[in-house]
Structure 1
Amino acid sequence: MIGAHGIGGEVRLKVFADDLSSYASFNDGALTLKSLRPGSNGAIARFAEIADRNAAEAMRGTALTVPRASLPPLGDGEYYHVDLLGLPAVSSEGEALGVVVAIDNFGAGDVLEIERPGGDDGKAGKRFMVPMRPEAVPEWDADRLVISVEFVE
């Protein structure tokens, strides 16, 4: 949720799904969707449990979740971001590269951000970005993501 909308308890949502209206409840049943309509930068929603603007403002920053079983099945080459985040990355030559720490989309498709292991000083490792395209990421599964050596920094 990115903020309140009006004084009646509606909230503004930044949406990362094709159709939120197919879900009746969110966050393990804590929020029940009453209405949903398009907004200028996402969607405007009304939840039964949010009665006024103050309650809506208090929800700012809350991520809406649904059970994995409620999500539509994936087609070939499709993935959910949650499945890639934290996944170990290796080069096509077998070198351990680090882990996927972020997925961005700047308009031309998803870009994975890989963080290399940190040093002994406790600092985070250097990061590099890889487009999520077959020539850059030829394979992935639940255990690892393979990055073509040409895309490794």
Structure 2
Amino acid sequence: MSEMICVGAIAGAYGVRGEVRIKSFCAVPEDIETYSPLVSEDGSRQFALALLRPIKNGFAARVADVSSKEEADALRGTELFTDRARLPSLPDDEFYHADLIGLAVHDTGGALLGIVKTVQNHGADDLLELQLAGSSATILLPFTKAAVPTVDLAAGRIVADPPLGILPDPDKG
């Protein structure tokens, strides 16, 4: 498991005075500020973050040492990470996305379906994007108890029971 967890991203400048737009990936979006200072993915930059106000799809925030629109725009797309030890422990049926990425997904009969490539959320439940075994194709698997009855982080595997129609039909060429 990764020691660093992505808790948000800088979406670009907000205004002309160096404020940035922050997208929070925390269950309680405002909690991102409590993990400050945050670091870039490679750990080369540190960001002291202060949320100013909620805005559409995130927050306006101030980052120390960023004082112009150009400096704020240069940070667009920067993912913000914190050490796993600073995050709250989760109940047994909840997972950090970073822990799911890369896990092998097997069907209820034990056959390998694929590997978790990403975890997405488009407003409803989370979706696991699976890179199908032996293929370059991907599918989106609902991350629900019915479709994913077992997640075993210790064994590094997920057991899935995909709904009908999710997997490609092997009879169609």
Cα displacement (A) at 1:140: 0.9
Alpha-carbon distance between aligned partners in 1 of 2:127 and 2:50, rounded to the nearest angstrom: 35
Runs of 4+ in 1 over 3 A off after TM superposition: 149-152
Cα distance change of structure 1 residues 41 and 107 upon mapping to structure 2, 3 Å threshold: closer
Cα displacement (A) at 1:96: 0.8
Identical residues among aligned pairs (%): 39
Alpha-carbon distance between aligned partners in 1 of 2:46 and 2:56, rounded to the nearest angstrom: 26
- Decide which moves more: 20-29 or 37-46: 20-29
Alpha-carbon distance between aligned partners in 1 of 2:111 and 2:19, rounded to the nearest angstrom: 49
AA partner of residue 150 (structure 2) = E
Residue 6 (1) aligns with residue 19 (2)? no
1:114-129 pair list within 5 angstroms: 114-118=130-134, 125-129=136-140
Alpha-carbon distance between aligned partners in 1 of 2:105 and 2:147, rounded to the nearest angstrom: 12
Could you give the per-residue CA deviations for residues 71-95 of structure 1, whole angstroms, max 9, x where no partner exists?
1110121111111111111111000
Gaps of 5+ in 2: 1-9, 168-173
1:92–1:149 CA contact under 8 A, matched in 2: no
AA partner of residue 120 (structure 2) = D
Higher strand content, 1 or 2: 2
- When the two structures are superposed, what TM-score results if normalisation uses the length of structure 1? 0.88
AA partner of residue 35 (structure 2) = Y
- Decide which moves more: 79-88 or 24-33: 24-33
2:127–2:142 CA contact under 8 A, matched in 1: yes
What's the Cα RMSD here? 1.8
Aligned length: 148
- Decide which moves more: 89-98 or 29-38: 29-38
Specify which of 6, 15, 19 is matched with residue 24 of structure 2.
Answer: 15
Gaps of 5+ in 1: 120-124
